[in-house]
Copies of this chain bind each other. A is one copy, B any other.
């Protein structure tokens, strides 16, 4: 069935798009795992032939691009939250995030589940290391 293929441009348009989609999904999954497992700053951005943009970044796209482009904002501290940070912070404080979670699909929930276990562990560790 499956055969080894040569890595060169696929000429057939529909086959190329199918492969683009399948491989992009695999690549982004691997990139996410890579970030979670090694805590590396990383970014992946891809444009389809139709011009659609697919991207992911850890801790986020802009932070990694800042590092790459030489920006000084590479070291994020607790000062000056971005719009996104403020938004999430508000959501956490108000409890509205619970509403949002209800709307997520299974794949997003899986992803969130994994992240939650990570952050739960991290929060526990951080809490233990604090004098109180």
Contact = CB atoms under 8 A, between A and B. Distances in A.
A91 B57 CA distance: 11
Nearest to A89: B100
Dominant secondary structure at the A interface: helix
B104 A88 contact: yes
B27 A31 contact: yes
Interface residues of A, number: 97
B91 A104 contact: no
Given A9-B36, A44-B42, A56 B94 contact: yes
30 contacts: A8-B117, A8-B118, A8-B121, A9-B118, A10-B38, A20-B34, A23-B37, A27-B30, A40-B48, A44-B44, A53-B67, A53-B68, A54-B75, A55-B68, A55-B76, A56-B94, A65-B65, A81-B103, A85-B96, A87-B87, A88-B96, A88-B97, A92-B101, A92-B108, A92-B115, A98-B115, A101-B123, A106-B130, A106-B132, A113-B120
